[in-house]
């Protein structure tokens, strides 16, 4: 099976998929093969795919996880055997609708002021622009416009570029941060390093661009690491897990019992804009949602507590403490 998986890995890399996607696809394909007793994939077909996907639903995985597994297996058949399967009939995992966790403005302030160092800047950027965590981690210097106060996001979940707002409050601190990052980059260059991973096929098209300042990450890692695919030693972007830990720690120190993570900042950004009167379609554009229904969930959060009066509050209670 190892030879087959190596060939599949090569097919994935030709498509220039992210390393995280590569690992995920390989994992699902291996699980598919093992589920069917190590049979060769080309000996199987639609029935075996449906059985595998149905079994995932029975084990209680989420709808998104089930879709991810199906996408990986279908990619394998297209890439390795030029086989297409339509109308996959399987028991599908139920889609769950969760109301997003949102912080009040006061809670947001309490968390932000307990973030330190580079995490303080990242927190301001996430809440101030509505970026997803990985969009922030992969942000390049050239895509931050300090004059126009905009951030251009190119490596997005929907694979479509979008522009969001760069908050005025971070302009000056961001200038200082970028000056430090640039000094670090120049030192890396003097040591024979200083390259950065290029998106897609741009590395081949522009062979020297990987050393240019504009292509560097806004939030680079503090240490060098070896690229698992190319073997090149260089700075990756800051690992997202370190941001997640810093945010959880700050929320705990702020005394907030809600489950808080970096994505909570994005939810709060959207909700606070909505409460402030920003048009829902503008918020959809800033968040990069393809479907307005996805953005509409914030109307439920913003509506409760803003103009909705509980019937209990209309009653005259002589001794509320006696409840």
- Residues identified as active-site: 132, 157, 263, 266, 289, 298
The single residue listed with the structure tokens 């800033």 is 286
Residue 197, both tokens: 């991973």
Task: Give the three-state DSSP class for 164.
Answer: strand
Q: What is d(CA 115, CA 123) in angstroms, rounded to the nearest whole number?
A: 7
Residue 288, both tokens: 């990069």
Task: Compute CA distances 315 → 303, 305, 308, 319, whole Å.
Answer: 22, 18, 15, 12
CB 151 within 8 Å of CB 168 = no
What lies within 8 Å, CB to CB, of 312 at 6+ separation is none
DSSP 87: S
Give the distance, in angstroms, between the CA of residue 294 and the centroid of all CA atoms in the same chain.
Answer: 16
Closest CA to 141 of 189, 188, 175, 190: 175
Residue ranges of the alpha helices (H) in 151-239? 171-190, 202-205
């Amino acid at each position: 099976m190892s030879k087959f998986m190596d060939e599949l890995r090569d097919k994935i890399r030709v498509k220039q998929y992210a390393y995280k996607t590569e690992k995920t696809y390989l994992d699902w394909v291996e699980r598919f093969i093992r589920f069917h007793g190590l049979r060769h994939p080309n000996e199987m077909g639609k029935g075996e795919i449906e059985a595998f996907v149905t079994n995932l639903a029975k084990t209680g995985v989420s709808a998104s996880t089930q879709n991810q597994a199906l996408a990986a297996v279908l990619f394998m058949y297209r890439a390795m055997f030029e086989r297409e399967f339509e109308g996959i009939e399987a028991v599908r995992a139920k889609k769950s609708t969760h109301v997003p966790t949102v912080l009040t403005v006061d809670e947001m302030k309490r968390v932000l002021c307990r973030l330190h160092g580079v995490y303080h800047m990242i927190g301001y950027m996430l809440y101030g622009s509505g970026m997803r965590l990985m969009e922030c981690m992969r942000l390049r210097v050239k895509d931050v416009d300090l004059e126009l106060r905009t951030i251009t996001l190119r490596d997005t979940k929907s694979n479509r570029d979008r522009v969001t707002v760069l908050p005025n409050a971070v302009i000056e601190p961001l200038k200082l941060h970028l000056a430090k990052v640039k000094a670090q980059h120049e030192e890396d260059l003097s040591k024979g390093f200083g390259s950065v991973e290029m998106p897609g096929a741009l590395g081949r098209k522009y062979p020297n661009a990987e050393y240019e300042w504009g292509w560097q990450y806004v939030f680079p890692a503090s240490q060098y690491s070896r690229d698992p695919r190319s073997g090149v030693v260089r700075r990756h972007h800051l690992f997202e897990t370190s941001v997640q830990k810093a945010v959880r720690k700050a929320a705990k120190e702020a005394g907030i019992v809600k489950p808080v993570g970096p994505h909570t900042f994005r939810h709060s950004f959207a909700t606070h804009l909505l409460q402030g009167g920003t048009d829902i379609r503008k918020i959809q554009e800033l968040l990069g949602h393809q479907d307005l229904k996805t953005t509409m969930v914030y109307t439920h959060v913003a509506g409760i507590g803003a103009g909705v009066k509980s019937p209990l509050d209309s009653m005259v209670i002589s001794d509320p403490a006696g409840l």
